[in-house]
Amino acid sequence: MNPDDLRYHKEHTWVKVSGNKVTMGITEYAQDALGDIVYIDLPEVESTVDAGTEMAEIESTKATSSVIAPVSGTVVEVNEKLADSPEIINEDPYGKGWIAVIEMEDESEIDDLLDAGDYDKYIEEEAK
């Protein structure tokens, strides 16, 4: 269900690690729970984010939801395509629907994130 090469935050964001940077987005589970995404308030490039705090906001036909930073660091790139086409997140949350690239302050924070198997267990428990 969730790609094995990613790590997951309990607030339903994912990261793909590349050196001291991560590409991040929201999980399949999160986009499914939100429904049709109609808008995303992207973070500013060069803004700093703290793990576990809001870094962006997504609006769907059902609700407005915070996107929680999976790691701390500096936003070095955002997915500008989402400004005009936020539905890409619904269509491809682990690919074209990525939200931002964060240059990490502390690479050991990756160790605090779940692997795919643990994340699957976590969302099963949450669904009960």
Q: What is the mean pLDDT of each run of 10 residues along the chain (128 residues)?
A: 93 97 97 97 98 98 96 98 98 98 97 97 90
Residue 1 inside a domain? The answer is no
d(CA 116, CA 15): 11
The pLDDT of residue 83 is: 96
What is the residue range of 123's domain? 7-127
Counted residue by residue, the chain has a size of 128
Pairing of strands 64-68, 54-60: antiparallel
Supply 51's token pair: 């793990």
Residue 27 inside a domain? The answer is yes
Residue 2 inside a domain? The answer is no
Query: Could you give the number of structural domains in the chain?
Result: 1
Supply 45's token pair: 């490039």
Q: Say which residues have a Cβ less than 8 Å from residue 36's Cβ, sequence separation at least 6.
A: 60, 61, 62, 87, 90
Residue 43 inside a domain? The answer is yes
Any idea what DSSP says for residue 114?
Answer: B
CATH number for the domain harbouring residue 99: 2.40.50.100
Residue 82 inside a domain? The answer is yes
The pLDDT of residue 1 is: 72
